[in-house]
Amino acid sequence: MHKPYKAKDHFFKKAKSEGLRARSAFKIEEIAKRHSLFRKGQAVLDLGAAPGGFLQIISDAVGPAGTVVGVDLAAIRSFNRPSVKTAVLDVLAADFEAQLLTLYGGAYDCVVSDLAPKTTGIKSTDEARSLALAKVALNVARKRLKPGGSYVAKLFMGGDFEGFRNEVRTSFDDVKVVRPEATRGQSMEVYLVGLRLKAALPGSGASSSG
């Protein structure tokens, strides 16, 4: 049985005491430690980055020589870190990829997505919307990741989850399902982690920048 919801639980209090913007920061911290995702000097894209908890963890990990780009529909309070760039962007907009390129034109070492839909309370609808956002993130990862790069995306368990996991497997050497300790007890969310983007087949364009 799921644990009851507690608005100010252990992770909320810990985040506040450590100066983190959101308790969710501990989710990416755990995932990154489990799978050695980040290293100094890397470039990382964070989709659905507001209010910036993930950005704090990622920017600490890649250091001042790294580059971290965070985008969200909501404005992200400024970071006093030259390595962090943020913008208000809609991942579903027709010009999203073009706008993203203006923030950073190079290839990324990791694409992280904490995108979440506005929930309706209708399980099948919410699962489908969550999956659609994870697919958007996967398409970005396929285009903007370096070969060998990583992909992390939140989505709701259920619906066509297995089909999507198999789709991720076509692009990455290994795919893990992680439910971080900081996930709220009643939540159906998990994170899919794609490790080591496969080199694109000639003519496929799967991992070319665009």
Domain of 56, CATH number, reads 3.40.50.150
**What is the model's pLDDT at position 9?**
66
N- to C-terminal Cα separation, the chain:
45
Mean pLDDT of the chain: 87
Least confident of 57-61, 94-98, 132-136, 197-201: 197-201
Closest CA to 34 of 178, 201, 170, 196: 178
Question: Cα separation of 195 and 175, whole Å?
Answer: 6
Q: Which residues, in sequence order, are CB contacts of 32 under 8 Å at separation 6+?
A: 38, 57, 58, 61
Range with the poorest average pLDDT among 26-30, 73-77, 97-101, 199-203? 199-203
Q: What pLDDT does 75 receive?
A: 95
Res 80: pLDDT = 86
Reference 47, options 126, 154, 191, 206; nearest CA is: 154
Output phi, psi for 195, to 5 deg: -110, 130
Range of the domain at 21: 10-197
What confidence tens digit (pLDDT) does each residue in 158-210 have? Answer: 889 999 999 999 999 999 999 998 787 778 899 999 999 998 744 444 433 33
Digit-coded pLDDT (tens) for 138-157: 999 999 999 999 999 999 98
pLDDT at 128 over 70: yes
Contact 85, 67 (CB under 8 A): yes
Please give the positions annotated as active site: 154
Check: CB of residue 53 under 8 Å from CB of residue 16: no
Give the per-residue pLDDT at 152.
Answer: 98
Share of the chain above pLDDT 90, in %: 73
Residue indicated by tokens 């000097």: 41
pTM exceeds cut of 0.75: yes
Amino acid at 54: F
Which pLDDT score, from 0 to 100, does residue 2 have?
A: 42
pLDDT tens sequence across 106-121: 999 999 999 999 889 8
- Give pLDDT, residue 147: 95
121-125: list long-range contacts, CB under 8 Å, 24+ apart: 123/158, 124/158, 124/159
Is the pLDDT higher at 187 or at 104? Answer: 104
Residue 136 lies in a domain: yes
Domain count, the chain: 1
* C-alpha span between 160 and 184 (Å, rounded): 22
Q: Is the pLDDT of residue 76 over 70?
A: yes
The verdict on residue 1 lying in a domain is no
